Every structure is written in structure tokens, then in C-alpha cells.
Structure 1
């Protein structure tokens, strides 16, 4: 797992920080941790954006997929090793990681304060279990890898279950809906506006 600490983490030994768990896409699977920083919040941090999170980015082996065991293990490891505010644990993922993020909020809703999900999908049947987790879902209208219908089905079912869902569609974007999303400071402010205790 690749971990990036926020600026100022070492300065205050008492402060607890938000945790952002980033789930990469299929192209970043393998055994080189550098790959998980190619896209998403780690890329933004590397390029100088001040993101006030401990960012934890686990990696799926070649040929594997996201499982809730992997996601929960990443949360556990980060919370054991770093000063994490358990009230502000967020999950985000793109493409294959977007599928993982949808499953995470369904299976681990009690641990997640909010989720930013990019060009993913899943099985909408059980997503009502995530109705208490605020979601910002993003998809490109021209996506030929993961059709936008994958997002639409998840969003529709979660809204029908009483969920709080923000849905952004980039009308001219294909599968790469993540570059614009993770470069947008509003998504990080939106995540930080949510706490589990306020649900």
C-alpha cells in the first residue's frame, strides 16, 4: 500500500487527520506501487496540490479485482499506523476502483463518511444498504469502456432508496473522467464536508 501524508502531519502529534482510501483502476494492478500514483489524488498531491488527508492507496495484484477484504485491510492498516479521524474516512475509486468503491459503501457503510466514485458501476440490487453514505458519482457520457448506464443504474437505485447522491456527467468525456474530477478542488471540499457522526 502506498501512503502519502498531508503537509503538517508531523507538526502536531495530537491532531487526527481525514483518511482518503483510493482504489485504482485495472491498468494499475501489479506489484509496482508507483503505478497506483499515476492517476487520482496521489497524482494531484505529487503535482503540488495541498490535500489535507492521509491518502492510502492499496494495490490489487495482476489479474485480481477489488474485494472488501482488501479495502477493509487498507482502512485497518492506515488507522493502526497513522493518526486518523475515524469520523472522516472517505473512499474514492476510478473505473475498476469505482466498482470497488460502490461495493465498499454497500458492504462497509458504517465505516465510510462519504464516497467519490468515478466511471464505475456494480450490482444495484443491494446498494440501498449505502443510503446513509453521501455519494458524488462522476461519469463521461461517451465512455465506451464502462458505459454510463452502469452509473445511472447505481445512482437511480440509491436515490430510490433515499440516498444522497450527486451525479456529474461530462458530456464530451470518454472513459477518462478522472483527470478532470481529481483536479477539481470542489470534490475534496465536498468530501471533507461530511462526517459519519452527522448522518
Structure 2
């Protein structure tokens, strides 16, 4: 199960998604087995405790009654799943029609630990700041005209932006929703697949800081579901599942990050490589870098040389190191069209 070291890496401060509002609602329950799960017992804060864990050590969750409330017309929703699952914002693709037959990608974006989101289950707009959905914000208000400012790939995707109601800082992860619980995210994916035409070969996860660790962890526990992931500025100390070694991943990190040292994310990247050490060939190994560099790995050919810029070459996994930017690696990454082109080109083989 999670350790205190992993928790510390998750809880470095970062920005990302939330929201509120709505005028009408519909209720839809998740589908699938609830074997081994529990509804738990609410504490004074309404959070679930004492839920059983699965074989990976993650807390199990029961099925949620997801309640949808439109916030922007019929394409942006507040979805309530608490207390058995995360609340989340839901964006629908611009060209999506309920009577069509086209399947669309699903992007899941996991926010970081802003420090102010502690015990309130209510969905906010704060975590959308610095997320792929940021163009939909005008200050702290929703901006319907911002849809045209979304990355074209994102604009034609379903986007789920959940919000952790309570960050569990005990190191024990007793709260099922106190960290980026893969079991809860899987329930949300199942809900989306039951309600909408989701392309099961194009489910992607991204996030920074606590959300970067969450991205890596959810992917690690869901390699049969996730097609590719983009984690940023995070650390991770858990064993890897076999499917991670063939998972398309692109890591992003700032060298001068004072919250999560670059060696933490580089260690996570290196854990995917068979006794290869990318830092040994880094151009500025003994000095602080002044340029952005990217290195790639492919199982058949190994590591490529580091190249300048935040672009990928050929390969399976990629690691980009920005020279500056502090803990904020997400603004540049989400503005990088090359990254989005790469992510949306990834598809599961089956």
C-alpha cells in the first residue's frame, strides 16, 4: 500500500481543477460489481473510513450515484459523486451528438494539493486554474466563450476533472477519497463508458505534483484501461505493474523545482528502464542547465541522446527537463501542442 514517502511526494503544492453551480440534475449510478466494496461509515466530516483494501493496498470504494448539473449549456457539467466517489467537472466534446455513433477520447486530469482544499466536499473552480480547461475560466467565473481557446484535441474529447475532498496526510491513506484512489477513478471511467460513447482505446491521464503522482499511480494500477499518461513534477515509490513497461508516458519536470526535486521524477522515469541511467548522459550533468532537454526510450533501441526542446523523438517513454520554472511545470506543458499531438496519437492495441 502507499507509504508515507509516497504521500510526501504527492502532497507538494500545485494547481488544478474544480467548479460549482447548475440549474437542473440527472442521476446515474455506476455499473459493475460491488464485490468487496463498502459504503463505509461517515465521520464528522462526512468522509468514508475503515473501507477494505484491494490486493494492491488501495482503498476500495462502492458504486456512486452520480448527479449531473449543467454549468455551461449542455456541454459542461458539475457531477457529484461524494461521499462514495470524487465530485468532478465534466466537459463534453464540441462535436458530440447523443444520437451519433462516433466514439471520443477521454482525458482525466488530476489536480495538485493547493493547500486550501482540506475537508469540504463541495466542487470549486479553483483547481481548473492551470489545467487543460483553464480557457473556460474568466477569473473565478466560467467563460463559455473560452471553449474556442481549448487545445483542439481537448476540445474534441471528454474531459473529467475530479476533486479530492480531503487530502489524507496521515501516511496511512485511511480515507478512500483522501488521495488519487485508482479504484474511484475506475468507477468514474465505468460511469463515463456506460453513459457516453467513449473510445476505450483512447483513455488518457495527466496531472502535476500530487496529481502527477496520482497520474502515475492510477496508470500503474490501470494499465489495462489507460492508453497513455503525462505526469509532471512528482515522486513515486511504489512497485510497478508489468504493464507499465509498455505504457506510453511523457514526464515533465523543472530542474529548479523547490517542492519536488527533479531526481524524484527522474527516478520514476528510470524505474521503467532496464538498468539504464539517463542522467549519466545529460549535457549539463555537472552544472545547472540553461536549456530544456528531452530524452526518449524505446525497448528495442534503448535511450536516445538528450535533445534540446520539449519535443519527443521516437520511442515509448519520454522525459523533459525544463531549466527553470520552479514547481510550475504544467503551464508550459499544457501549452505544448507537440505534447498533445503525441498524447492523442496513442491508442491501446486491444
Counterpart in 2 of 1:98? 212
Look at both structures and tell me which one has the larger radius of gyration over its CA atoms.
Answer: 2
How far 1:41 sits from its partner (Å)? 1.1
Which of these residues, 38, 42, 53, is aligned with residue 157 of structure 2?
53
Q: Do the aligned residues in 1 keep the contact of 2:180 with 2:218 (CA within 8 Å)?
A: no
Please report the TM-score for the alignment, with normalisation by the length of structure 2. Answer: 0.53
Q: Does 1:171 pair with 2:323? A: yes
Deviations 1:130-168 (A, max 9, x none): 112100000011111111111011000112285921101
1:78 aligns with 2:169: no
Matched residue SS, 1:169: strand
1:13-52 maps to which residues of 2 (within 5 A)? 13-27=100-114, 29=117, 30=120, 31-44=122-135, 47=146, 48-49=149-150, 50=152, 51=154, 52=156
Residue equivalent to 1:136:
250
Q: Distance in 1 between matches of 2:326 and 2:238?
A: 22
8 A contact 1:4–1:56 mirrored in 2: yes
Q: State how 1:108-127 maps to structure 2 within 5 Å.
A: 108-123=222-237, 125-126=239-240
Q: Which blocks of at least 5 consecutive residues in structure 1 are unaligned?
A: none
| Greater share of residues in helix | 1
Task: Kindly indicate whether structure 1 or structure 2 has the higher relative contact order, using CA contacts under 8 Å at least 6 residues apart.
Answer: 1
Question: Counterpart of 2:334?
Answer: 182
Mean CA deviation greater in 39-48 or 54-63:
39-48
Q: Which runs of 5+ in 2 are unaligned?
A: 1-87, 138-145, 168-177, 276-298, 300-314
- Secondary structure at the aligned position of 1:111 is classed as coil
Structure 1 CA distance for aligned equivalents of residues 321 and 132 of structure 2: 20
Question: TM-score normalized by structure 1?
Answer: 0.90
Cα distance in 1 between the residues matched to 2:227 and 2:106: 10
CA distance in 2, matches of 1:43, 1:5: 15
SS in 1 for 2:321: strand
Kindly state the Cα deviation for residue 128 of structure 1 after the two structures are TM-superposed: 5.1
SS in 1 for 2:239: helix
1:168 is paired with a residue of what secondary structure? strand
- State which of 115, 134, 147 in structure 1 corresponds to 2:261: 147
Measured against aligned partners, the alpha-carbon deviations of 1:47-84 in whole angstroms (never above 9, x if no partner) come to: 41232211011111122221112221222222222210
Cα offsets for 1:12-55 (capped at 9, x unmatched): 61111000011111117452232331221111465412322110
Q: Structure 1 residues 108, 69: CA separation in 2 closer, same or farther (over 3 Å shift)?
A: same
Note if contact 2:107-2:157 (Cα within 8 Å) is conserved in structure 1.
Answer: yes
Q: Aligned pair count?
A: 198
Q: Aligned partners of 1:45, 1:120: CA distance in 2, in Å? A: 26
Q: Secondary structure at the match of 2:273?
A: helix
**TM-align CA RMSD:** 2.1
- Classify the secondary structure of the residue corresponding to 1:175: coil
